[in-house]
Amino acid sequence: MEPLTVEKWGWWIKQILTPIVVVIGLTGNCLSFIVMKTKSWRHKSYSHYLCALAFFDSLTLINREVKLIDGMKIYANEQSLFSNFGDVACSMYNFYVHLCYLMSSWLIVAMAMERFVAVYFPLKKAYFCTQTGAAIVICTLTM
């Protein structure tokens, strides 16, 4: 029996483990989103951040799986999923992929800033840490 080489391990991890991680991640993100939208959590400002984080993380996982499927099609000498994209569509797709990646990081930064205000300036928490403020921050980050 031939020992597993780095290339074979890489293939198993990429082709088998990645889709499993994507399914588990999407399930967890959906459950997080559902929990954050329940009546007891809905009125808290950080639930908006966590819902947006679950949404953008899900899009990132889906983008990762689409890229994996495209790589498999190219390896099988089939037409790429993106071969019919023009320059504008390619640029828009790349913007969308990078937006999803970066939004996850910036949403965590925004949530940390809100928690900082709540801890160090507790009297101003009611003014700064609101649902409307969270929605404005999320929309601003998305733009």
pLDDT at 137: 83
- Is residue 1 domain-resident? no
Question: Which domain does 102 fall in, by range?
Answer: 6-142
- Is residue 62 domain-resident? yes
- What count of Cα atoms within 13 Å lies in the side-chain half-sphere of residue 39? 0
pLDDT of 15 higher than 80: no
- Is residue 116 domain-resident? yes
Q: Work out the average pLDDT over 122-129.
A: 80
Question: pLDDT category, 127, cuts 50, 70, 90?
Answer: confident
* Better-predicted residue by pLDDT, 82 or 102: 102
Q: Work out the average pLDDT over 69-74.
A: 76
Cα torsion at 96, 100, 106, 110 (round to 10°)? 110
pLDDT of 4 higher than 70: no
Mean pLDDT score across all residues of the chain: 83
Count of structural domains, the chain: 1
* Better-predicted residue by pLDDT, 90 or 29: 29
**Domain CATH number, residue 73:** 1.20.1070.10
pLDDT at 2: 60
Least confident of 18-32, 77-91, 117-131: 77-91
